[in-house]
Amino acid sequence: MATLIDWLGGWPGAVLLQRSGTAYLFVNAAHILGIGLLLGAILPLDLRLAAVLRASALPLIGPILIRTAACGLALALVTGFWLFTVKPGEYLGNTAFLIKLGLLALALGNIAFQHRGLKSALAGGEIGPRVRVLAMFSASLWLGVLVAGRWIGFL
């Protein structure tokens, strides 16, 4: 494991970020953009699925929000992993980082469960209680990932 951590900390992408404040700035900004796209899309979708918001036509906005959230998730995962490689040993010893990873794993798993019942809702069908509960769970998990991510810098 120590060899992998050392390798990650020494790969050219990590070295670039370690040596260039400008490169780190842009990768960090891209990470924040990914988080913004993800949460800016997934929270309205989850709130609509949970019946907290009622004003929007789910078949119309749902696919757009899902694609936007997916793009944000991809950007956040790639840039987050890249930022992790700058100090992998320190991050693996950070409780907030480990909590963030656990919440992220749960949130990603929730996506798989949620998409099974989502097809009917996106086609204009009724939104069942399972979808509503998973939507609230999703919103809570993604907000937890955000808070844990911000907490990393304080530990």
> 139: exposed, middle or buried (C-beta count within 10 Å: 0-12, 13-18, 19+)?
buried
- Pairwise CA distance, residues 38 & 31, whole Å: 11
56 has a pLDDT exceeding 80? no
Q: How many domains does the chain have?
A: 1
pLDDT digit string, tens, across residues 12-38: 999 999 999 999 999 999 999 999 999
Percent of the chain predicted with pLDDT > 90: 77
pLDDT of residue 57: 84
pTM of the shown model? 0.92
Q: Model confidence at 134, in pLDDT bands (50, 70, 90)?
A: very high
pLDDT of residue 55: 65
Q: Is the distance from CB of 138 to CB of 46 less than 8 angstroms?
A: yes
pLDDT of residue 81: 98
pLDDT of residue 82: 98
Q: What residues contact 59, with CB distance under 8 A and at least 6 apart?
A: 122, 123, 124
- Pairwise CA distance, residues 50 & 133, whole Å: 7
Q: Model confidence at 53, in pLDDT bands (50, 70, 90)?
A: confident
The two structure tokens encoding residue 2: 């120590």
Q: Is the distance from CB of 76 to CB of 137 less than 8 angstroms?
A: no
pLDDT of residue 110: 95
pLDDT digit string, tens, across residues 84-108: 999 999 999 999 999 999 999 999 9
pLDDT digit string, tens, across residues 119-132: 877 887 788 899 99
Please identify which residue in the block is written with the tokens 């951590």. 5
Domain span at 58: 2-154
How many angstroms separate the first and last alpha carbons of the chain?
23
